[in-house]
Amino acid sequence: MIAGIKDIESEISNILNEFEIQDSVEIRYSNIENTDIQCNNLVRYSNAPNINEIKEKLEKSLLANPFIENIEIAENGFINLNFSNEYLKKFSKNHNERIISPKKESMLFDYGGPNIGKDLHVGHIRTLNIGRSLYNIFKLAGHDVISDIHLGDWGMPIGLILAYIEKESIDINSLSYIDLEIIYPKASELSASSKDFYKEAQEISKKLNSKNEEYLSKWKIIYNLAIPNIKNLLQSLNYEFDLWRGESDVVEEVKTVVADAQEKNLVVEDDGALVSTEKEDPPILITKSDGSYLYLTTDLGTVVHREKNQKCDKYIYVVDSRQRNHFEQVFKTVKHFNLSSSSFIHVGFGTVNGPDKKPFKTRDGNVYKLSKLHEDIKEKLKKYNSNEKVLNVLTNTVLTFSDLLPNRNQNYEFDLEKFTDINGKTGVYIQYAQVRAQKLLSSKVEIIDTNIDNEYNLDERKLLLLLSKFDYFYNQSLNNYQPHHLAEYLYSLCQTFNSFYANNKIFSNDTPDEIKLKRIEIVDNFYNLTGLIFSCLGIKLVDSM
RNA sequence: GCUCUCGUAGCUCAAAUGGAUAGAGCAACAGACUUCUAAUCUGUAGGUUAUAGGUUCGAGUCCUAUCGAGAGCGCCA
């Protein structure tokens, strides 16, 4: 995973082989001060009788490598190495050329998942940010990626809305989007207290499934009311999708999935409901006792629909961890019903918590809307810039960077005050650092001497070394579906750059031309890589602050 | 009750899937501005990685138990 060290690894491996030590040699970055990389394979053999001979041979051979400038083998067998300037110069740039995957795959990213009638709220930012980031990361590696927002535009929620409209005799044609937002929570609440109302909603939902024209046209009205609003909001937040499919697109597939399973005896009846024949505890429920469909059924239909329309090698679902069991059931059933031979991955994540350490509620109607959060962040950022365009990018940066920084497996606390500060691990800080770099690169200077100085001071070397580590963090994010590795790395890059910036003046009169050239190249490398990581995370650059 | 996820500095979070002395950011304290924007930078202090065992050259990471937190447990999505 470390760029450009394969030769060094095989060199060590060869030498160890000569002494009849057969290990798969691995070099890793070192935490030890003044050591760049280390190899631990020799540790287990530190008591071997010919250890001194091995050490001698290793030292001699490794020092001849142009990428290595210093070698030290500790008493206990750790092989500590330092990179040469040649290595640092070469691997601190052109990163995007090195991360192309040798095996190209097609992948569908299912994320976002907004529901009709329910406004996007704070709880949606993780699926949006993580989904978009993974999409960008895999795209950068050369994979064929496609994103699908997977709208919640069918089933019981729609039944509830339509039942409520009917019950309250609301004129559906004069309905506005704002009315819709009010209706859903009320309908949801009513369904919990009134069994009759719940049954009515269920009936409507069933009729929709059998293409009842009256309800279908009402559904369409609601759909057309909701979708443009969702699109506008997401666009302003810089989220884009290749596909805007929803549950309503797979109604036919859901029916055929169930029918086929029945025909192949993959389901059995239980209290009127259909249950998968797979031995599971609890059993996997395919249809309700009244014959209507469930969340799981819809997801199975979606798989069939995708297999038919945009078959992929991998399907990646970015949905919160509470639905882990659900996806286990979906994926098992996909295999059991033989719906697809592709691989299915659930990328889960924890909740976004408020200051009270509790997640923002989604169904009590009293939610923190995403649009409101955007406004609140923007308000805080006004002290940094008054330009509306810059302010919007900055706001989206905070909304994304703060969210991608923690490991997705854990819950985290959203602290508005903290996240909008320029001091600290924040979106504002990283934007400020790259703006500084931009400014330096745009400065027009007369440089006469064209020699580049190839010796590096401590600040320069530290930055170059960190720049060369991109491949590692990129692969961590890619292999584990965890963007936070890149987010953390980006911050440390910016921090190291700011330190370099403060201690190494480029355009001062007592800086010789060859040093100016060298430093401008370093700044250029920093700026290019920063831009690359920004795009991986789904963040746009501001050009001033 | 069963099953997952997790417990790291006062607070918010990292840590290569087993490597040497566990790192950042806030907050606290002490410094650096006639500056390529100090909107920044540099120090100091802060830890028995929930607890107790185990596995081995080596454990925050793996195994067992206990305590504590959050989540999920057929007819919502």
* Amino acid A43 CA to nucleotide B58 C1' distance, rounded Å: 10
Q: Is residue A512 part of a domain?
A: yes
Q: Is residue A543 part of a domain?
A: no
Query: Which of A83, A105, A135 is at the close of a domain?
Result: A83
Phi, psi dihedral angles at A72 (to 5 degrees): -145, 125
Task: Band the pLDDT of A119: cuts 50, 70, 90.
Answer: confident
pLDDT at position A80 is 95
CATH number, domain containing residue A76: 3.30.1360.70
Domain span at residue A21 reads 6-83
Nearest nucleotide relative to A413: CA against C1': B12
Q: How many domains does chain A have?
A: 2
Query: Which of A68, A83, A98 is at the close of a domain?
Result: A83
The C-alpha angle with vertex A124 and arms to A121 and A130, in degrees rounded to 5, equals 155
Q: What is the DSSP letter of A354?
A: -
CATH number, domain containing residue A405: 1.10.730.10
pLDDT at position A279 is 83
d(CA A287, CA A414): 39
Q: Is residue A274 part of a domain?
A: no
ipTM above 0.90, yes or no: yes
Tell me: cis bond preceding A406? Omega within 30 of 0 counts.
Answer: no
pLDDT digits (tens, 9 = 90+) for A72-117: 999 889 999 999 999 999 999 999 999 999 999 999 999 999 998 8
pLDDT digits (tens, 9 = 90+) for A80-89: 999 999 999 9
Nearest nucleotide relative to A508: CA against C1': B36
Q: Is residue A353 part of a domain?
A: no
Beta pairing class for A412-413 and A352-353:
parallel
Which residue minimizes Cα–C1' distance to B18? A40
Q: Is residue A32 part of a domain?
A: yes
Q: Is residue A13 part of a domain?
A: yes
Where is pLDDT greater, at A535 or A122?
Answer: A535
* Amino acid A457 CA to nucleotide B69 C1' distance, rounded Å: 48
Q: Are A126 and A333 in contact (CB under 8 A)?
A: no
What are all long-range contacts of A267-275, with beta carbons under 8 Å and residues at least 24 apart? none
Task: Band the pLDDT of A188: cuts 50, 70, 90.
Answer: confident
Q: Is residue A50 part of a domain?
A: yes
Query: Which of A56, A83, A110 is at the close of a domain?
Result: A83
Grouping H, G, I as helix, E, B as strand and the rest as coil, residue A85 is: helix
Nucleotides of B under 7 A from a protein CB: 4-6, 12-17, 19-27, 35-42, 57, 70-77
Q: Is residue A219 part of a domain?
A: no
